[in-house]
Copies of this chain bind each other. A is one copy, B any other.
Amino acid sequence: MTEILSEKVDELSEQMAKQLNGKEEEVDNEDDKVDPWNVTSNSKAGVDYDKLIVRFGCSKLNDEILTKMETLINQKVHHFLRRGIFFSHRDLHLILKRYEEKKPFFLYTGRGPSSSALHLGHLIPFMFTRWIQEAFNVPLVIQMTDDEKFLWKDLTIETTKKMTKENVKDIIAMGFDVNKTFIFSDLSYIGKCPEFYENIIRVQRSVTFNQVKGIFGFGDSDCIGKIAFPAIQAAPSFSSSFPFIFDGKKDIPSLIPCAIDQDPYFRMTRDVAPRLSLPKPALMHSSFLPALTGAQTKMSASDPNNSIFLTDTPNQIKNKINRYAFSGGGATVDEHRANGGDCDIDISYQYMKFFMEDDNRLEELRTEYSSGRLLTGDLKKELIGILQKVVAEHQERRKTVTDEIVEQFMTPRKLNF
C-alpha cells in the first residue's frame, strides 16, 4: 500500500515537474543550468538546490528520513547528509523499508573516465557510496562509461580504455571492499555479459528519439551512438544485468548515489522500469563541489587552476587555494573585521563542509568567520592542511593499487553480502 501510494506521489510530482520545466523554459532562462554536460548558475552561492528539487520532481533528504536511517544503521549519518551535501532522493524510503525487512538491495554508481587525473569533486559520490556500502553492507557495482567518452570526445577506443584503467585505480584507492564491489567498463562488459546487452535493448525499445530529445537535448545531427547511449547508463540499475552477483534475480532494486546532474538518466530509467516489469532504481543526489574561483560552476578538469587534482603536490594545493579560492570576506581587513565574511559564497568554507569531518570545529569556523574575527587567510590555511592530507593519503593508497587488484575488481564474479 505504502509502495503504491509512493508511486502515485512520485508520478504526480514528476508530472508537475515536467509542466514546471516546460514553463520555465519559456519564461525564465536565467535559471541554473543542470544536465549531464553542463552545470552553471548565475548566483555566487551556486545552484539553488531547493528549486532544483521542485524542477526535477524529487524529494528533499529531510530530518525525518535521516533520523530513520540513523535508527536503522545504528550510527550517525555521514556528514554529507548532516550538512545537506547529499540533499535529495527518489524512493529512499522504499530502500530503507526493504533494509528493515531484511530484503536485499544494491548500490550502483559510475563514472565517465577522463584523460586527466581525478579532482576533488570526483571524490564526493565515491566517498559517500563507500560509506553507504559499509553502513548497509550491500553489494556495489561501478560502471565506467568508456563508450560514452568515446562517443562524446574525439578519442580512440584504445585511449578510452587506458583512461578507464587509470581512473579505476583512483576509485579503488578510495577504499572499496573487493569482496563487495564489481567495477566494469562498458566496452568490455557488454562483450562479456549477454544479459546486460539484453537489458540495454529492452530500454532502447522503450524510449523514443522524442523522449531523449526532451530529456537530454539531443538533435538530428547527433550521432546515433549518443542517441542510444542513455540505455547503457540505465541498464546497470537492474539486478538482472549482473547474473553472477544476483543469481539471475530481476527484482532486487538499486540505490544510486550520484551528483544531481545525472538525474535525467535515471528519471528516464524510472519511467521505463515498470513497463519492463523491473523495479525502479532509488536515488540519492549530491550537490556539486564548487570550482575554486566560485560556485557559479562546479569543479572541472578542463580548467586546472579551478580544480585541485588528486595528483597535486602539497605546494600546488597551497598555491591554488591561496591564489584562486574565491573569498567571501571583506575587501580589506578592516572591512572584514567590521562586516564579517559570507560563508555561503566563500569557497574555502564551502570546501570545509565537504572535507572537514569535525562538526564542532566547522561550526566554530563558521561563527568566527561570519563575525569577522577569523580572516580569509586563516580559513585558507586550515583548508590547505585538510586538503593536503586528503590528497596525500589518496596518493599513498593509490600507489598500492596494482594491475592485479584492478583485474580482481573488474572480474565478473559472486560478491559476498
Contact A228 B220 (CB under 8 A): no
Question: Which residues of B sit under 8 angstroms from A227, Cβ to Cβ?
Answer: 209, 224, 227-228
Question: Which residues of B sit under 8 angstroms from A218, Cβ to Cβ?
Answer: 209
Q: In this assembly, does A164 line the interface, its C-beta being within 8 Å of a C-beta of chain B?
A: no
Q: Min CB distance, A366 to chain B, in Å?
A: 47
Q: Is the interface of A mostly helix, strand, loop or mixed?
A: helix
Question: Which residues of B sit under 8 angstroms from A224, Cβ to Cβ?
Answer: 204, 207-209, 212, 227-228, 230-231
Question: Which residues of B sit under 8 angstroms from A191, Cβ to Cβ?
Answer: 190-198
Question: Which residues of B sit under 8 angstroms from A230, Cβ to Cβ?
Answer: 224
Residue of B nearest to A211 (CB): B224
A 199-222 to B, binary, CB cutoff 8 A, 1 in contact else 0: 001101111111011000011111
Q: Min CB distance, A243 to chain B, in Å?
A: 11
Residue of B nearest to A225 (CB): B204
Question: Which residues of B sit under 8 angstroms from A105, Cβ to Cβ?
Answer: none
Residue of B nearest to A199 (CB): B157
C-alpha spacing A187/B205, complex, angstroms = 14
Q: In this assembly, does A151 line the interface, its C-beta being within 8 Å of a C-beta of chain B?
A: yes
Q: In this assembly, does A147 line the interface, its C-beta being within 8 Å of a C-beta of chain B?
A: yes
Q: In this assembly, does A333 line the interface, its C-beta being within 8 Å of a C-beta of chain B?
A: no
Contact B151 A204 (CB under 8 A): yes
Residue of B nearest to A189 (CB): B194
Contact A228 B204 (CB under 8 A): yes
Q: In this assembly, does A411 line the interface, its C-beta being within 8 Å of a C-beta of chain B?
A: no
Q: In this assembly, does A150 line the interface, its C-beta being within 8 Å of a C-beta of chain B?
A: yes
Question: Which residues of B sit under 8 angstroms from A209, Cβ to Cβ?
Answer: 209, 218-224, 227
Q: In this assembly, does A62 line the interface, its C-beta being within 8 Å of a C-beta of chain B?
A: no
Contact A204 B187 (CB under 8 A): no
Question: Which residues of B sit under 8 angstroms from A205, Cβ to Cβ?
Answer: 150-151, 223, 225
Q: Which of A147, A195, A207 has the most CB of B within 10 A?
A: A147
Contact B222 A208 (CB under 8 A): yes
Q: In this assembly, does A67 line the interface, its C-beta being within 8 Å of a C-beta of chain B?
A: no
Question: Which residues of B sit under 8 angstroms from A319, Cβ to Cβ?
Answer: none
Question: Which residues of B sit under 8 angstroms from A210, Cβ to Cβ?
Answer: 220-221
Residue of B nearest to A232 (CB): B201
Q: In this assembly, does A367 line the interface, its C-beta being within 8 Å of a C-beta of chain B?
A: no
C-alpha spacing A39/B198, complex, angstroms = 30
Question: Which residues of B sit under 8 angstroms from A194, Cβ to Cβ?
Answer: 187-188, 190-192
C-alpha spacing A227/B205, complex, angstroms = 10
A 233-255 to B, binary, CB cutoff 8 A, 1 in contact else 0: 00000000000000000000000
Question: Which residues of B sit under 8 angstroms from A190, Cβ to Cβ?
Answer: 190-191, 194, 197
Q: Which of A151, A206, A220, A224 has the most CB of B within 10 A?
A: A224
Pick the 3 closest A-B CB pairs, nearest first.
A191-B194, A204-B225, A228-B228
27 contacts across the A-B interface (CB closer than 8 A): A147-B201, A151-B204, A157-B198, A157-B202, A188-B194, A190-B190, A190-B191, A190-B194, A190-B197, A191-B195, A191-B196, A191-B197, A192-B192, A192-B194, A204-B223, A204-B225, A205-B223, A206-B223, A208-B221, A208-B224, A209-B218, A210-B220, A212-B224, A213-B220, A224-B230, A225-B228, A227-B227
Residues of A whose CB lies within 8 Å of any CB of B are: 147, 150-151, 157, 187-188, 190-198, 201-202, 204-210, 212-213, 218-225, 227-228, 230-231
Q: A208-B222, A212-B224 are in contact. List 4 more A-B contacts (CB 8 A).
A: A147-B201, A187-B194, A207-B224, A209-B220
